Amino acid sequence: MLFVITCVALAVFAVRLVDLQGIRGDELAGAALDQRLRTVALPASRGSIMDINGDVLAVTVEARDLTADQTLITDPKAAGAALAPILRADADVIATRLTGTRRMVYVAKGLTPETWRRIDALGLPGIFGAQTSRRVYPADDLAANVVGFVGSEGTGLAGMEYALEKQLAGTAGTQTYERQPGGGAIPTAERSITDATAGVDVRLTIDRDIQYVAQQEIRRKVRESGADSGTVVVMDPATGHILALATEPTFDANKASLAASGQMGNRALSDVYEPGSTSKVMTLAAVVDQGAATMNSVFTVPGSLLRGDKVFHDHNAHGTDEMTLTGIMAKSSNIGSILASERIGGKKLLGYLKKFGIGEKTGLNFPGESTGRVPPFEDWSITTFPTVAFGQGLSVNSVQAASIFATIANDGVRVEPSLVASVTSADGSDVPRPAPRTTRVVSAESARQVRLMLEAVVGDGGTAPMAKIRGYRVGGKTGTAMYVDPKTGRYGDGVVASFIGMAPADAPKLVVAVSITNPANGRYGGELAGPVFKRVMTYALQAQHIPPTGTKAPHMPLMAGKAQ
């Protein structure tokens, strides 16, 4: 009996052995290997974002994501209590996270290397530190509305971080290895690695010093005036480079999750407004370019003007005046602008507005950009033409408004605005961006005449003498436009006060555009936006080492028979 029982037992063992090793050997060995194998992502290093001079605006630093294999944790409460003071989190919450049968759960993300070393020293089984990275913005809120930010997953969610996600992110790699029962890698086991491809570095056209001054000045003025918001755009008219793109309110890119949604967009591109009197630059430039008038042409400008069923007035009441075209610009006469525009007609005026870029994308490819609008000619009523002539009935964003003046500054050639100067290739060399698109809008002579007219705006008798800069010739235009409430689509009591100008006016190197929305204290573009323009432009001229030209502005007649 003992012999029979022994033979049966051995036979059972033999059958089982044949099954495990002979029949199911490969399957079971593969399953065992699968239990030991662990595949982790090797994140690609995200490219940095820099200003035009190479100063860092966004950079990626080493970090660790704390993960756990719940099946390897025997005492979640003890592990939670050990981790809580290091993570500054509730021990019970951590313990709950460590309890279960999941092979991989996140406990915390974006830990500094120092924090991970403290956790690793505890020697807790089932606790791992996956190599990752963390995005840092060294200047906090500086250019935050341009640069944007990344989310918890490391992908861009706003600004250039979002617009250039593909270039900045690179391609992640993977690493597969066999692990020991306690969780660590088996030193002698083979590893399979697919290397990550790093993202490229991007150099913006933004100058961080000019950006800083622009942000400080618009913040001060918005708070002083009790306005809803404000923007400053600084542009190089010859290249289209945007040297500053400031908005207020703004946010700290390192704490984006704490910011209100209205603070994170870029109002200089997303918000549109009726340009008001700054639009007269386009109207009068079109009139000059068509040969319908020169800067010294005289117009009889009455105190009121009936067109259709509407009576138009100038801001300051006056009798019938004999104004030059320069005087119409300098005194911002609505009636004079209407009379001048009627010499070329609505269709031709609309054609110029389109060439100036109204109603079209700027070319920046910035997320959330609005195009502004000018109604198609077939939708114009009898009062559309006169209102468009002096800046109502159409809308622009702040970059478009700056681009209009940059076109005049650049001898009538519109250069498509740009925010990216270059990207870094795989070999570390800078790759400049393709040349921007250019459009001839008005002739060089027409642009020259308009610049002289804009100088009269800043001169005695003009609407913006406060925008003068000692030693420099300055040309610009004020604007005080009725504010259209985006919620109702109707005019409210508020205004958008603006000033856009260039310097040196006889050889322009920079354009600065300032807009302030819904001020509670103050109302007019000259008094609110003019001083901001002056301080930002003064600093930018010095920062760019732009000397005065040494010439004097000519005396321009504003009224027939009178000199400025």
- pLDDT tens track, the chain, 564 positions: 899 888 888 887 877 777 657 676 666 555 554 555 667 667 678 899 999 999 999 999 888 899 999 999 999 999 999 999 999 999 999 999 999 999 899 999 889 889 999 999 999 999 999 887 789 999 999 999 999 999 988 899 999 999 999 999 888 777 776 665 555 555 555 667 777 788 899 999 999 999 999 999 999 999 999 999 999 999 999 999 999 999 999 999 999 989 998 899 999 999 999 999 999 999 999 999 999 999 999 999 999 999 999 999 998 899 999 999 999 999 999 999 999 999 999 999 999 999 999 999 999 999 999 999 999 999 999 999 999 999 999 999 999 999 999 999 999 999 999 999 999 877 777 888 888 999 999 999 999 999 999 999 998 888 889 999 999 999 999 999 888 776 777 777 789 999 999 999 999 999 999 999 999 999 999 999 999 999 999 999 999 999 999 899 888 899 986 543
Provide the pLDDT for residue 25: 60
Interatomic CA distance for residues 550 and 556, integer angstroms: 18
Interatomic CA distance for residues 415 and 356, integer angstroms: 10
- Across 95-142, the runs of DSSP E, i.e. the strands, are 105-111, 127-136
Per-residue HEC secondary structure of 437-477 comes to CEEECCCHHHHHHHHHHHHHHHCCCCCCHHHCECCECCEEE
Interatomic CA distance for residues 365 and 16, integer angstroms: 68
Q: Which residues pair with 175 in a beta bridge?
A: 40, 193
Q: For residue 348, what are its two tokens?
A: 């031709």
Provide the pLDDT for residue 20: 59
Degrees, nearest 5: CA angle 364-368-370: 75
Q: For residue 120, what are its two tokens?
A: 């690793």
Provide the pLDDT for residue 62: 85
Q: For residue 556, what are its two tokens?
A: 């321009």
Which residues carry out catalysis?
277
Q: What is the pTM of this model?
A: 0.84
Q: For residue 115, what are its two tokens?
A: 């924090």
Provide the pLDDT for residue 26: 62
Interatomic CA distance for residues 492 and 518, integer angstroms: 10
Taken in order 345, 477, 360, 417, the sign of the CA dihedral is positive
Provide the pLDDT for residue 54: 93
Provide the pLDDT for residue 563: 41
Per-residue HEC secondary structure of 389-438 comes to HCCCCCEECHHHHHHHHHHHHCCCEEECCECEEEEECCCCCEEECCCCCE
Contact 266, 388 (CB under 8 A): no
Interatomic CA distance for residues 44 and 52, integer angstroms: 24
Calculate the CA 432 to chain-centre distance: 20
Q: Which helix (H) or strand (E) holds 301?
A: strand 298-301
Interatomic CA distance for residues 285 and 325, integer angstroms: 10
Q: Which residues pair with 130 in a beta bridge?
A: 65
Provide the pLDDT for residue 430: 81
Q: What is the DSSP string of 482-551?
A: EEEPTTTSSEEEEEEEEEEEEESTTS--EEEEEEEES-SS---HHHHHHHHHHHHHHHHHHHTT------
**Residue (of 75, 110, 112, 111) closest to 94 by Cα position:** 75
Provide the pLDDT for residue 351: 97
Sketch the domain layout of the chain as residue ranges.
41-86+105-168+188-199, 208-420+428-543
Calculate the CA 132 to chain-centre distance: 27
Provide the pLDDT for residue 124: 92
Q: How, if at all, do strands 173-178 and 37-42 pair?
A: antiparallel
- Residue 337's CB: how many other CB atoms inside 10 A? 28
Q: For residue 436, what are its two tokens?
A: 């921007």
Q: Which helix (H) or strand (E) holds 384?
A: helix 384-389
Q: What CATH architecture is 208-420+428-543?
A: 3-Layer(aba) Sandwich (3.40)
* Omega before residue 249 within 30° of 0, cis: yes
Query: CATH homologous superfamily of domain 41-86+105-168+188-199?
Result: Penicillin-binding protein 2a (Domain 2) (3.90.1310.10)
